[in-house]
Chain A
């Protein structure tokens, strides 16, 4: 039963961060590859605030989310200052920078050994309660996604990807639109990170990082259309696919690597299919 709960919890948490991936990568065309930083940063900051500085747990969680949101504002500022390509490289390198920071400052972050024994607060002490909370948050994230799609902001986000200058000539600021997408993306990814840390109750430098980015990208590409339904199906597919490996008789030490390998292969396949699809669309038009 624990295994099933774990999968459900992972699915719900990735669904929440999937909304941010979908809005950034697919719709706004912003390669905010630093989303895993928001995911890890919120988890680390709330845990450190609670365990090292004695901040009350709920306040630490709130502070972790707020700090992550501000980090998102910094990334929004950078997006509006540098070229798109530079931003992609910058946001990717932020994952490596955060990883290096976590490994280096072991007095604060626990270094490579990480921080063990992350205790769940009273409100979601059991895994069932945590799942319920994840469910409420993911439903909230999906409602947010749905409303944004229908609202003027949803159209502005899509316009930002296709023709930012035309968006400006309509009287809408491309900077404000990008800031909204990036900071809300950071907020959702940070929520997902907080929920995930209380799922596994252990924090080390491998939390988030490139594997998390690969999952997010796979979900965003698979979901393709800006619909709640396609996002749910894509997340379910991406979360369930590597679980099939468990039923094959591989040594347990290999399973973690095989999971990453499966996600990477999936991402490469998806990118290959997507580029073929876009090429044929361009030829048709």
Chain B
């Protein structure tokens, strides 16, 4: 029996006068890849924001690795084991690829502030950066600013950062946005590898259903801020309610 990583109970998120998420309960097991789909404005990103601490939780309970997150600030939640990808790519475009990964390593390994003056640590960090960049086919851009990368390469860099974090739960928001069809396979492999080879649990918001159905273990469909359908990709794909959600 796999351990539950994320537990959400009766989550309600209200922004202004509008209730964005209503009575959402779900649990995510260790090593799973779970996809969240739903029409625009159904509260998928707000759900991620509520879990990661960027949107206030009205009522309900969110716990990660057995720790209640509700009152923790976003960086404390990250320290509890949560990492997050963003819709508009969570990388620093004015930093080099190397610096982006160094930041992830510094935080994950809690390196001392003077580490760059220690040859031993510098060598270890450099090896880790190069190995990761190679794994994500970005090694040739090591010293380039992230801002010069294509949309797909930026996403791969984001995945590389997520891999280096010490988080065991990754929330990835629309990874295929701005990614060419050729790079989508590579991105899909990278996300699979995060789960299979690096032991991460992944929750993905995605509009590209084909991409998602081939990648995930479980699908959750949101409609009007509520959990509408939940099941295996093969089951959800056949569910007539899915067509109803997307095509009316």
Contact = CB atoms under 8 A, between A and B. Distances in A.
Interface string B31-61: 0000000000000000000001110000000
Given A153-B113, A155-B103, A158-B94, A171 B86 contact: no
Nearest to B114: A151
B121 to A, nearest CB: 12
A169 B92 contact: no
Contact of B86 (A162, A165, A170, A285): A165
Contact of A150 (B91, B104, B116, B147): B116
Nearest to A165: B54
A152 B111 contact: yes
Contact of A155 (B93, B95, B148, B165): B95
A87 B86 CA distance: 26
Most chain B beta carbons < 10 A, residue from A150, A151, A166, A173: A166
B107 A170 contact: yes
Nearest to B162: A169
Given A158-B92, A162-B92, A170 B113 contact: no
Contacts of A167: 75
B107 A171 contact: yes
Contacts of B104: 170
Contacts of A152: 103, 106, 111, 113, 115
B91 A172 contact: no
Interface string B72-106: 01110011001110100011111100010011101
A189 to B, nearest CB: 23
A46 to B, nearest CB: 31
B111 A163 contact: no
A93 to B, nearest CB: 29
A215 interface: no
B99 A155 contact: yes
A285 B107 contact: no
A173 B93 CA distance: 20
Most chain A beta carbons < 10 A, residue from B53, B78, B91, B93: B78
Nearest to A151: B113
Contacts of B165: 170-171
Given A152-B111, A153-B113, A170-B165, A162 B93 contact: yes
A150 B115 CA distance: 10
Interface residues of A, number: 21
Contacts, number: 73
Interface string A140-174: 00000000001111011011001101111111111
A155 B78 CA distance: 18
Contacts of A169: 52, 74-75, 78, 82-84, 90
Contacts of A168: 53, 73-75, 78
A173 B90 CA distance: 16
Most chain A beta carbons < 10 A, residue from B53, B54, B75, B93: B75
Contacts of A170: 75, 78, 83, 103-104, 107, 165
Contact of A158 (B73, B83, B95): B95
B73 A173 contact: yes
Nearest to B165: A170
Given A152-B111, A155-B102, A285 B147 contact: yes
A165 B74 contact: yes
A162 B52 contact: no
Nearest to B164: A170
Contacts of B115: 152
Contact of B92 (A151, A153, A163, A285): A163
Contacts of A166: 86, 90-92
Contacts of B147: 285
Contacts of B108: 171
B75 A171 contact: yes
Nearest to A156: B103
A185 to B, nearest CB: 19
A166 B171 CA distance: 12
Nearest to A163: B92
B116 A172 contact: no
Interface of B: 52-54, 73-75, 78-79, 82-84, 86, 90-95, 99, 102-104, 106-108, 111, 113-117, 147-148, 165
Given A155-B106, A163-B92, A170-B103, 5 more contacts: A151-B113, A158-B92, A159-B95, A169-B90, A285-B93
8 contacts: A151-B114, A152-B115, A158-B92, A162-B92, A171-B78, A171-B108, A171-B165, A174-B75
